[in-house]
Amino acid sequence: PFKLLVMGQLNAVGTETDSITFTAADTANGWQSIRFTNTPATSDTSRFMYCRIEYGRADGAGQDNHGGAFCFENFSKAVVSNCLITRCRAENGGGIYCDNSHPRIIGNTLTGNVAVNVGGGICLGPGSIPVIRNNTIGWNTAIGNGGGGIFCLSDVMISNNTIIYNTSHIYGGGGIMANGCSPEIIANTIS
């Protein structure tokens, strides 16, 4: 599948009544997602606002199997706001994957995403301290080791989100699973 590898700045800014869609013509095989890997730290901030990202399938080799819609590795200058992230799939981070990255993830809906291992909605690897606020994270699945909604390996703040109807098949954390870290979970609805 094709992927969108960002090596600079990408601004996809729609409006509430006219959103931007990232999708695949072949929804069974999907596409490889929007990837910030080896993106120069000198790049300006990328913005994704009022976008619909669907049918991302991160199923490549190595790190290419992380982040069904977005993969952030060693890059923090990104804002994902008021987007719908749906029907995406990856080994880790069915919707969004962060590794040593700190993007701003605010006001989005992540729904119907699947992680074969961890983080059906969002997977936060070591050293990742993004802003995760005012999102609806629901109906996502972690088939393997946990975190149907969110899986984290970092001391992140997760605030004012609605985290509902997520599932984890083997281990725990249908809503949130934290492993070896102490996230601050403040004013969320988890059910």
Per-residue pLDDT at 146: 92
Which H/E stretch holds residue 98? Answer: strand 96-99
Is 15's pLDDT higher than 80?
yes
Query: What is the CA angle 131-105-85, rounded to 5?
Result: 155
Q: What is the DSSP letter of 61?
A: S
Per-residue pLDDT at 182: 94
Is 1's pLDDT higher than 80?
no
Whole-structure pTM value: 0.97
Cβ contact 179:150 at 8 Å: no
Per-residue pLDDT at 59: 86
**What is the distance of C-alpha 27 from the center of its chain?**
19
Pairing of strands 157-159, 57-58: unpaired
Q: What is the pLDDT of residues 96-133, one digit of tens each?
A: 999 999 999 999 999 999 999 999 999 999 999 999 99
Coil, strand, or helix at residue 65? helix
Pairing of strands 78-81, 46-49: parallel
**Distant-in-sequence, close-in-space partners of 26: CB < 8 Å, separation ≥ 6:** none
Report the percent of the chain where pLDDT is more than 90: 92
Pairing of strands 4-5, 34-37: parallel
Among 101, 148, 153, 163, CA closest to 126: 153
Q: What is the pLDDT of residues 38-94, one digit of tens each?
A: 899 999 999 999 999 999 999 877 778 999 999 999 999 999 999 999 999 999 999
